[in-house]
Amino acid sequence: MRYRERLTVPVSWWGIGLFFAVSFATAVGFWVGPVVSLVAGAASALLVAAALTWFGRTLVVVDDRGLAAGEALLEWEWLGEVVVHDAAATRDRLGRDADHRAYLVVRGYIRTSVEVEVADPEDPHPHWVVSTRHPRELAAAIAARRSMMPR
């Protein structure tokens, strides 16, 4: 079983970005005219779209290599126990129960996560906390792939 999720920004952020671009174009239009307003509005819309696309590019993948979260990879031999966190547990794990040594791939607009133990004694991170919209499916994919591995 494989798993792949892109941590895209919510649709509401795109609406806010569009509102910003229209507001910017309107403000520019009042001062410099409609032609510059259209160019400024298009440019700001493109910049907002690029920023939102860039911020939402992070991938969480379970495949033959291990668990990849963003740019990091936790290979199967070092992947320990997985704990599914609901919104409250995620908030606690990132707040009052946080471990400053943890490796975090979190997005504030995604309320749920998984915590993955790092079984490598040389690794400075005792665990990873990874945002996901589907924590049970991610944990199931890890468990399914782990069950196929030779012991």
Largest CA distance in the chain: 71
Q: Average of pLDDT values for 108-136?
A: 96
Least confident of 24-33, 50-59, 93-102, 128-137: 24-33
Residue type, 15: G
Confidence of residue 151 (pLDDT cuts 50, 70, 90): low
Query: What confidence tens digit (pLDDT) does each residue in 31-88 have?
Result: 888 888 889 889 999 999 999 999 999 999 999 999 999 999 999 999 999 999 999 9
Query: What confidence tens digit (pLDDT) does each residue in 108-121 have?
Result: 999 999 999 999 99
Q: Average of pLDDT values for 12-29?
A: 91
pLDDT at 150: 64
Instruction: Express as a percent the part of the chain with pLDDT over 70.
Output: 98
Measured distance CA(135)–CA(113) in Å, rounded? 6
For the chain, domain boundaries: 8-55, 61-147
Determine the 3-state secondary structure of 106 from DSSP.
coil
For helices 34-55 and 11-32, angle between their N-to-C axes, nearest 10 degrees: 160
Which ranges constitute the DSSP H helices of 34-134?
34-55, 87-94
pLDDT at 11 over 90: yes
pLDDT at 29: 83
pLDDT at 24 over 80: yes
pLDDT at 147: 79
